[in-house]
Amino acid sequence: MNVATESSGGGEGLLEAPLIIEYAFNRTTGPVIGAFVTGLRERRVLGIRSADGRVVCPPVEYDPQTGAPLEEMVEVGTAGTVTSWSWVSQVRDGQPLQTPHALALIQLDGADTSMLHVIDADGPEAVSTGARVRIRWAEEPTGAITDIACFELDGGAS
């Protein structure tokens, strides 16, 4: 178990230190997911070409049909199209955005598959299947999927 402490200035000369006890898991990313999250840190999105020629994004290490190792990383766009979505009207702690938002499948330009992410939109009437969205990057990328803070609608969304 990890115990994280962070010292902070206490009021009236007292020392205070928050104590956060958590049960942490690590992940070994391997060569493909490792390249994907490293790309996000550089604000680039990488997919991978599968045996049948499709670009899978987020990339997978082994071919979805044959199980063969895949190697050809393909950079895809930072904008894409909504292929399906659901509106989250009641936000709870721990969700990606703390305002009402859409969970959506988004097919980035140049990819043949969709990825699950979040759209920051004013309301459900603003979102539609087929809508164009683009990445809003996190201010300080760390090499994680959360480097994509969320997606936002292009001005011309239907």
Partner 1 sequence: MAGNRVAVVGVGQTRYAAVRDDVSLPGLLREAVFRALADAHMTMDDIDAIVVGKAPDFFEGMMMPESYLAEALGAVGKPLFRVHTAGSVGGSTALVAATHVQSGVHDRVLTIGWQQQSVSEAMWALSFPIPFQQQLVAGAGGYFAPFIREYIRRSDAPDHIGILVALKDRLNALKNPYAHLHEPDITFESIEESFMLWEPIRYSETCPGSDGAIALVLASEGAAEASAASSGVPPAWIHGTAMRSEPATASGRDQVNPVAGIECAADVYAQAGITDPRRQVDVVEMYVPFSWYEPMWLENLGFAPEGEGWKLTADGATEMTGDLPVNCSGGVLSTNPIGASGMIRFGEAALQVRGQAGDHQVDGARVAVGHAYGGAAQFYAMWVVGADKP
Give me the residues that bind partner 1 (CB under 8 A), please. Answer: 1, 23-33, 60-67
Q: Do 91 and 101 touch, CB atoms closer than 8 A?
A: yes
SS3 147: helix
- Give least dist CB 33 to partner 1, A: 6
Q: Which is nearer to partner 1, 27 or 92 (CB)?
A: 27
- Give least dist CB 71 to partner 1, A: 13
Q: Which is nearer to partner 1, 30 or 155 (CB)?
A: 30
The two tokens of residue 120 are: 């920051």
Q: Which is nearer to partner 1, 111 or 119 (CB)?
A: 111
Q: How far apart are CA 29 and CA 129, in angstroms?
A: 32
- Give least dist CB 154 to partner 1, A: 33
- Give least dist CB 23 to partner 1, A: 7
The two tokens of residue 59 are: 């990339």
Q: Which residue has the tokens 């990383």?
A: 73
Q: Which is nearer to partner 1, 37 or 153 (CB)?
A: 37
CB within 8 A of 114, min separation 6: which ones? 83, 84, 105, 106, 107
